[in-house]
C-alpha cells in the first residue's frame, strides 16, 4: 500500500480505529465521524506530511488530503478494517452496459498480474514444443502446462473470491461456489451418458446428467468460464446478506456460510447451468444457419462476436457443431472463422503499448501481447481492452473483417490444434496449402493490422498517463500558460472569504470564489473530466495544457448526497470549453442550510509561476476568470 504509513498515522491520531464511528471521503478530504473528538490529536495531524489541514465542521472531523484522497482513503480503510459499503456517497448511475463493464473490471483487476504470467507461460510452453526443445509428453512440459493452465482451468475459484469482494460478500463463500463448479467428480459427469433427456425434439433438447432432490440438473463444463461464477457470486452475496439478518450472532460464523452454500450452489447448477447451455445451443443453431446462408456473413458475425461469446460462455454452443463437423465432414468451416479474433485483439493491444506512457498499463500490455500471439487473450481482454470499452470494440471490428475473409476463402479447420500462431497448421488440409489455408493466413494478418491501425488512429484518453511523480492525477503533461474562463455566472469573491480553512488558506491551490446567480457549471477549458464526484457537488478537470482545476459547489454539500444536483457528464469524458457539466438548485441548497459559494482553484498551482485572478466584480459564463502563467 502506497500510503500505508500515512494511513496508520492518521488512524492513530484520530484516536484509534475504536474511536471511529464511520469514515467517508469527498473530493479532497477524509470525513470521520468520531465517538470523541477530544481524543484526536488535531495539531499533530495538521503538521503531518501528507495532510493539508484538519477541519471540524457539521459533526465531522475532516482531514484534508488533496486530490489523491481516494488512494489515501483506500489505505485507511484497509489498515483500519473500516466498512466500505456506503462510503462514497450514492452509487453512480450507469447504463446496463457500463455497469457490466464496471463489474467485469472490478472482478478481473486483482487477477491481472497472475493472468498475464500464466498466459505467457502457456504460450512459451507451446513455443518450446513447436521448436522441438521439449516434448509434449515430457515432465517439463507437464509441469509448465500445469502452471500455465492452473489459473484458466480453475478460473471460477479465483473469480469467486474477487466477485464476492466486488459484491461485498464473504470471499471464501465465493471461492467455495467456484470450487463446486469445477469439482472433478461433478465435472466428470458431463462426459457420462445422460440419465434421460428432456425437451426432446426441440432446439434445447438436453441430457440430464444427475438430479438434486428430484430436480433435473443439466451440466456444462465450467472450467475457464466467467459469467456463471460472477452471477452466482452476486446472487450468493444477496442470499448471504439475508441470512445474516435472521441468524443469531452467536452462530453466524458457520451457519451463514452453511445456509448460503446450501442454497446458492444447487441454484447455480439448476438454473445458471441450463440457461448457459440453452443459450449456447440457440447460438450454435443460429450461427450454423447463417453459415449455410452465406459463409462471408457468418464469418463477419462470428468474428465480430466471438470474444463476446467467450466472455459469456456461449461459445460452447459452437463447439459441438465443430466436433460433429470434424467427425462427419473431416473438417469444420464454422469454428474456423474465429481464428482471426485473437490476432485482432493482439493488434489493438500492441497499438496501446506503443501509444501509452502509463507505466502500469505498459506492464500489463507487454505480457498481454506476448500471450496474445500464442492465442491466450484473457490478459488482453480483461486487463486492457474490455475495461476501456473502445479498444474492445475495435478488436471486434478487426476480428469481423478477418472472419469475413476466412469465410470468403472457404477456410476449414482440419484438426483441433494449437492456439494463436500455433493454430496455423490446423488449416492445412488433405490437399496441402490450398485457398482455404492462405485465406486463414490472410485473415489472421489483416485482422491484426486492422486492429492495430484502428487503435493507432483512435484517440486514446489514457495515452498520457504516467507515474504519480508528475502530478496529482498521475498524468505527464507539459504545463503551459493558458486562460481559464468562468465555469459559473455570479459575483466574484476572493478565495479567503470561503468558510473552509482548506480552501480559504490556499492550501489546496490558488484560485477564486464565485457566488452563483445561476445553477449551472460549465467547463472552463478543453480537457478531460478527471473527477466527477457521484453526488455532483464537486468535479475536477485537467486541461489540455496541464492545469488541474477543482470546482467545489458550496461547502459541505456532499452531505446532500446528490439531492438538488444533476450531473450532465461522466468521469473520463473529454469536455469542451462551455460544455454544461452540472446543474444545481441554488435556492433548494440554501434552504437546506448550505452555502453555495463555489471555489474554483488550480490544484497544481505549484507547477506555475503565478495564477492571476480577474478584476471583475461579476462574471458571466465563458468570460476570463483566471490566467495561469507558466
**Which residues are designated catalytic?**
26
One-letter-per-residue 3-state SS of 129-150: HHCCCCCCCCHHHHHHHHHHHH
The CA-CA-CA angle for residues 226, 462, 225, to 5°, reads 5
User: If 0-12 CB within 10 Å is exposed, 13-18 middle and 19+ buried, where does residue 342 land?
Assistant: buried
Half-sphere exposure of 267 (CA within 13 A, CB side): 15
600-623: b (≥16 Cβ within 10 Å) or e:
bbbbbbebbeebeebeeeebebee
Cβ neighbours, 10 Å, residue 209: 22
DSSP state of 213: T
Q: How many CB atoms lie within 10 A of CB 586?
A: 18
Answer for the pair 380, 346: CB distance below 8 angstroms, yes or no. yes
As a whole number of angstroms, the distance between CA 533 and CA 550 comes to 11
Q: Is 206 exposed, middle or buried (0-12, 13-18, 19+ CB in 10 A)?
A: buried
Q: How far apart are CA 144 and CA 384, in angstroms?
A: 25
Please name which of 629, 616, 630, 622 lies closest in space to residue 512, comparing C-alpha atoms: 616
- Tell me the C-alpha distance between 503 and 483, whole Å: 21
E strands, 440-509, in order: 482-485, 490-493
Four-residue CA torsion sign, 96, 99, 105, 106: negative
DSSP character string of 237-261: HHHHHHHHHHS-GGGHHHHHHHHHH
Beta pairing partners, 542: 528, 548
Measured in whole angstroms, the distance separating CA 262 from the mean position of its chain's CA atoms is 31
The CB density around residue 517, as the number of other CB atoms within 10 Å, is 14
Strand 598-602 relative to strand 548-552, pairing: antiparallel
473: helix, coil or strand? Answer: coil
Q: Torsions phi, psi of 25, nearest 5?
A: -145, 155
Residue whose grid cell is 488512524:
11
Collapsing DSSP states into helix, strand and coil, what is residue 280? helix
CA 605 to CA 503: how far, in whole Å?
13
Tell me the torsion sign for CA atoms 234, 240, 244, 249.
Answer: negative
Contact by Cβ (8 Å): 426, 414: yes
Residue in 414, 409, 404, 428 with CA at minimum distance from that of residue 344 = 404
Nearest Cα residue to 294 out of 399, 446, 434, 403 = 403
Task: Give Rg (Cα) of the chain.
Answer: 28
- How is residue 582 annotated by DSSP? E
Half-sphere exposure of 140 (CA within 13 A, CB side): 9
DSSP 110: G
3-class DSSP state of 185: helix
Amino acid at each position: 500500500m502506497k500510503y500505508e504509513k500515512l494511513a496508520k498515522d492518521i488512524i492513530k491520531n484520530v484516536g484509534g480505529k475504536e474511536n471511529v464511528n464511520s469514515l467517508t471521503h469527498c473530493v479532497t478530504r477524509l470525513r470521520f465521524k468520531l465517538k470523541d473528538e477530544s481524543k484526536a490529536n488535531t495539531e499533530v495531524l495538521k503538521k503531518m506530511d501528507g495532510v493539508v489541514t484538519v477541519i471540524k465542521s457539521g459533526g465531522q472531523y475532516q482531514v484534508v488530503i488533496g486530490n489523491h484522497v481516494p488512494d489515501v482513503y483506500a489505505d485507511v480503510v484497509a489498515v483500519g478494517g473500516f466498512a466500505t459499503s456506503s462510503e462514497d456517497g450514492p452509487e453512480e448511475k450507469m447504463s446496463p452496459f457500463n455497469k457490466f463493464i464496471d463489474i467485469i473490471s472490478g472482478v478481473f483487476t486483482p487477477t491481472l498480474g497472475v493472468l498475464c504470467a500464466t498466459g505467457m507461460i502457456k504460450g512459451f510452453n507451446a513455443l518450446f514444443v513447436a521448436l522441438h526443445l521439449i516434448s509434449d509428453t515430457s515432465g517439463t512440459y507437464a509441469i509448465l502446462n500445469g502452471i500455465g493452465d492452473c489459473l484458466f482451468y480453475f478460473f471460477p475459484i479465483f473469480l469467486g473470491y474477487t466477485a464476492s469482494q466486488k459484491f461485498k460478500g464473504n470471499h471464501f463463500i465465493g471461492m467455495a461456489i467456484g470450487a463446486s463448479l469445477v469439482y472433478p467428480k461433478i465435472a466428470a459427469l458431463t462426459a457420462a451418458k445422460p440419465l434421460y433427456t428432456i425437451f426432446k425434439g426441440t432446439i434445447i433438447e438436453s441430457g440430464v446428467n444427475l438430479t438434486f432432490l428430484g430436480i433435473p440438473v443439466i451440466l456444462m463444463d465450467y472450467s475457464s468460464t466467467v459469467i456463471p461464477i460472477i452471477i452466482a457470486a452476486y446472487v450468493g452475496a444477496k442470499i448471504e446478506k439475508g441470512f445474516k439478518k435472521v441468524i443469531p450472532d452467536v452462530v453466524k460464523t458457520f451457519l451463514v456460510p452453511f445456509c448460503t452454500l446450501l442454497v446458492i450452489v444447487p441454484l447455480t447448477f439448476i438454473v445458471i447451468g441450463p440457461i448457459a447451455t440453452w443459450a449456447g445451443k440457440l447460438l450454435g443453431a443460429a450461427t450454423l444457419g447463417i453459415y449455410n446462408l452465406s459463409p462471408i456473413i457468418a464469418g463477419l458475425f462470428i468474428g465480430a462476436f466471438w470474444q463476446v461469446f467467450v466472455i459469456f460462455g456461449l461459445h460452447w454452443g459452437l463447439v459441438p457443431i465443430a466436433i460433429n463437423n470434424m467427425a462427419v465432414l473431416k473438417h469444420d468451416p464454422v469454428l474456423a472463422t474465429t481464428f482471426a479474433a485473437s490476432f485482432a485483439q493482439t493488434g489493438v493491444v500492441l497499438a496501446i503499448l506503443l501509444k501509452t506512457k502509463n507505466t502500469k498499463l505498459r506492464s500489463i500490455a507487454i505480457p498481454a501481447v506476448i500471450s496474445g500471439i500464442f492465442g491466450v487473450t484473457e490478459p488482453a481482454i480483461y486487463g486492457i481492452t474490455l475495461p476501456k470499452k473502445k479498444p474492445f470494440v475495435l478488436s471486434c471490428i478487426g476480428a469481423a473483417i478477418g472472419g469475413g475473409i476466412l469465410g470468403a476463402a472457404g477456410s476449414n479447420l482440419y484438426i483441433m490444434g494449437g492456439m494463436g500462431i500455433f493454430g496455423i497448421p490446423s488449416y492445412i488440409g488433405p490437399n496441402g496449402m490450398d485457398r482455404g489455408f492462405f485465406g486463414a493466413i490472410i485473415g489472421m494478418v489483416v485482422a491484426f493490422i486492422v486492429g492495430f491501425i484502428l487503435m493507432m488512429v483512435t484517440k486514446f484518453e489514457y495515452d498520457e498517463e504516467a507515474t504519480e511523480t508528475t502530478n496529482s492525477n498521475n498524468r505527464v503533461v507539459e504545463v503551459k500558460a493558458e486562460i481559464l474562463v468562468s465555469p459559473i455566472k455570479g459575483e466574484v469573491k476572493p478565495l479567503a472569504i470561503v468558510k473552509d480553512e482548506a480552501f480559504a488558506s490556499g492550501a489546496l491551490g490558488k484560485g477564486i470564489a464565485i457566488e452563483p446567480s445561476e445553477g449551472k457549471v460549465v467547463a472552463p477549458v478543453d480537457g478531460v473530466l478527471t473527477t466527477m464526484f457521484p453526488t455532483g457537488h464537486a468535479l475536477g478537470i485537467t486541461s489540455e495544457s496541464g492545469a488541474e482545476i477543482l470546482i467545489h459547489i458550496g461547502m459541505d454539500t456532499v452531505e446532500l448526497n446528490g439531492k438538488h444536483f444533476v450531473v450532465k457528464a461522466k468521469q473520463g469524458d473529454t469536455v469542451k470549453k462551455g460544455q454544461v457539466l452540472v446543474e444545481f438548485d441554488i435556492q433548494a441548497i440554501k434552504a437546506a442550510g448550505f452555502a453555495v459559494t463555489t471555489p474554483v482553484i488550480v490544484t497544481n498551482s505549484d507547477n506555475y509561476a503565478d495564477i492571476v485572478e480577474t478584476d471583475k466584480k461579476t462574471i458571466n459564463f465563458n468570460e476570463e476568470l483566471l490566467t495561469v502563467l507558466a
